Structure formats: C-alpha cells, structure tokens
A = this chain, B = another copy of it.
Amino acid sequence: MTGPVAAGRHYPGEEKKIVALCGGVGGAKLALGLERISQPGTTTIVVNVGDDFEHLGLRICPDIDTVLYTLGNLSDQERGWGRAEESWNFIENVKRLGGDDWFRLGDKDLALHVTRTQHLHRGGSLSDFVARAAKLLDIRSNIVPATDEVISTMIDTDQGVLPFQEYFVKLRCVPRIKSIQFEGAASAVAAPGVLSALSDPALHAIIICPSNPYLSVDPILAIPGITAALRNSSAPVIAISPIVGGAAIKGPTAKIMTELNFAPSQRSIAAHYQGLIDALFVDVSDESEARGLSVQTFVVPTVMTTIEQKIQLARDVIDAAASLRVNSLSHRGAAR
C-alpha cells in the first residue's frame, strides 16, 4: 500500500449507503476499496462467521479479523493473512508446552483473540466487540458479523466431517469435499444492524464481495432473513465473481467447485447466485464467457493487487449500481 491514494485516510468520500457481504482475504480487498472511498458510517461490511472456531480456549474469527486488519492497515500483504511485522513467540512456546500449533496465532494477532474471548465470556456480544475494535483501529466502515450466534461451517469429506479450520488450515484443503453444512445457521439471528442496513430504503447497493460463494457467502445467506432482505431490497444486488480465467485468485474455490461437480466458471457462479443478484462482475479475461450468461454482467478488471485496483473496482461497482437503479431493469427487480 503505497502512493498518494493509499496514504490519505481522508480521500473524498462517497456518501452513498452500501452493504457488502464479505468473507476473508478476497472479499476484504474490495471492502478496503469501499472503505477508502466511503464517508464514515456509510458502508456496512457484513462478515462471515462460519469459519469461526474455538482454539486454545480462544474464540478465533478469521474472516472478521482479516477485514479488521485489512481496513485497519495492519494486514500482512505478502503472507496473505494475519498481521504485518508479526512475531511468533507465543505459538512457538505453546508447541514447547505440548499445545496445538497447527493454527498459527501471532503475538500481535493474539490481542484480538484474548480480548474478544474475555468480552464474550463476560456476556458481551461479538458485534459490540467488533464495532469497538473497528473504531479503535480508525476504520470508518461499519463492520458487523453476520450473526452474534455461533455458526460452524462443517465440511463433509472423504475423510469424514471436518470443522472448517481443520479442513482448511490443518489439512490444507486436501480432503475431497462431498458437501458443506452451516451448523447453527438455520436457528441463528442476524446481528443487530444487518437486516436494517439491508432494508434501508436509501441503500444504494448490496455487494457480494469476491469471496468463496460456497464457504464464505453462503453461511451469511443461510441466516434467516438475510436472503429475503436481499430479495426485497430496493437497491441492486451485485456480486463480484471470485473466478478469473477458470481459477480462483485466492483460496480453494476452484478445487471446491470441481469437487461439488461445478465447473470453476463464471456460468457456475451466475447459476449459484441466480435469482438473488441483479448483476455479476466478471473479470476482463472472461469477457467471452460473460456474454452468454443469463444475468447482466459488467466486465472490468477484478484482480485487486494494488490499492488503486481495489478503489477502482469499488468505484466501478458503485457506478454499476447507479446505472442499474436508473434502468430498473434487473431480472430480480422485474420478477418482484
């Protein structure tokens, strides 16, 4: 993150109200773009909690923390997760004491886990903790967990049913996926502010970030009321495909899609979000495939390596939402 755009925290901001549904690293890139161009409090990032788990007695929320660190300018860009300039003295000594070290908790990172666990044990809510942390990290967006309740993404694989982090980190996505369940989702309640943000008549757009649809977005959509709120919103719903040229930029999306018998293609993503979205953003490298999709597409560069690319994609999505509002021609809107 270099250059004049990245340096300025007071970039002239959009005042339009945005809600973005977001997973971890891929989604957080677009969330950062939105953060940089939004006025304080106008953008709400609803973050997946299906990856959350208890480890070493601590409540770990990988996607929320990735969003907090990314928007708080604390994330490690090269490693792709956790905090920059991290040290590992804690986890190395946990190992020495016979504890689990397969999930690497950094010393700086640990501050979030320990204070969050204490907050939750005292009866505080996850959303209160996240809001407070975001404020202390000078983040201008509202960061909200999808729910304050516990949802556990469980992966049914050829090696048995695995909690998400065991599949994802411990076993490095090697087991073949048969199906995915979100334990607790059906009875969960959306966190305070989520449904009201989605049903705000002044909402400009609902954005589904380029996160893994099956692992990161679906656990949000599985919470009662959220999918309905997307369908009923007067604002256009726009998804950014995480697939670029038949592969995922980050993470196991393509492998998972193949194992679930979906081709890792824009067509599969469009089909997955069919009836829920008004438009799909597709990378320029997939322009030819975009033409044949049943949903309206916007073909722009979606690979976000630099901060300028993140901001540009955020601007493109906001502009697309404006055009969709003017035309009011979305499939979803027309069907309502």
Point out residues on A near B: beta carbons under 8 Å.
56-58, 86-87, 89-94, 96-99, 106-108, 110-112, 114-115, 117-118, 121, 132-133, 136
- 14 A-B pairs besides A57-B114, A92-B111, A98-B132 with CB distance below 8 A are A56-B115, A56-B118, A86-B89, A87-B89, A90-B107, A91-B111, A92-B108, A93-B110, A93-B112, A96-B136, A97-B136, A99-B115, A99-B118, A107-B107
Which residue in chain B gives the minimum CB-CB distance to A85? Answer: B89
Which residue in chain B gives the minimum CB-CB distance to A113? Answer: B114
Chain B residues within an 8 Å CB radius of A132: 98
Chain B residues within an 8 Å CB radius of A92: 108, 111
Ranked nearest first, the 10 interchain pairs of A and B with the lowest CB-CB distance are A93-B111, A57-B118, A89-B107, A107-B107, A94-B111, A89-B108, A99-B115, A93-B108, A90-B107, A90-B110
Q: Which residue of B90, B96, B121 contacts A114 across the interface (Cβ within 8 Å)? A: B90
Q: Which residue of B87, B97, B121, B133 contacts A115 across the interface (Cβ within 8 Å)? A: B97
Q: Quick check: A57 and B117 within 8 Å, CB to CB?
A: yes
Chain B residues within an 8 Å CB radius of A112: 93, 97
Which residue in chain B gives the minimum CB-CB distance to A74? Answer: B93
Chain B residues within an 8 Å CB radius of A90: 90, 107-108, 110-111, 114
Q: Which residue of B99, B111, B114 contacts A111 across the interface (Cβ within 8 Å)? A: B99
Q: Complex: how many Å from CA A118 to CA B111?
A: 17
Chain B residues within an 8 Å CB radius of A107: 87, 89-90, 107, 110
Q: Complex: how many Å from CA A117 to CA B98?
A: 14
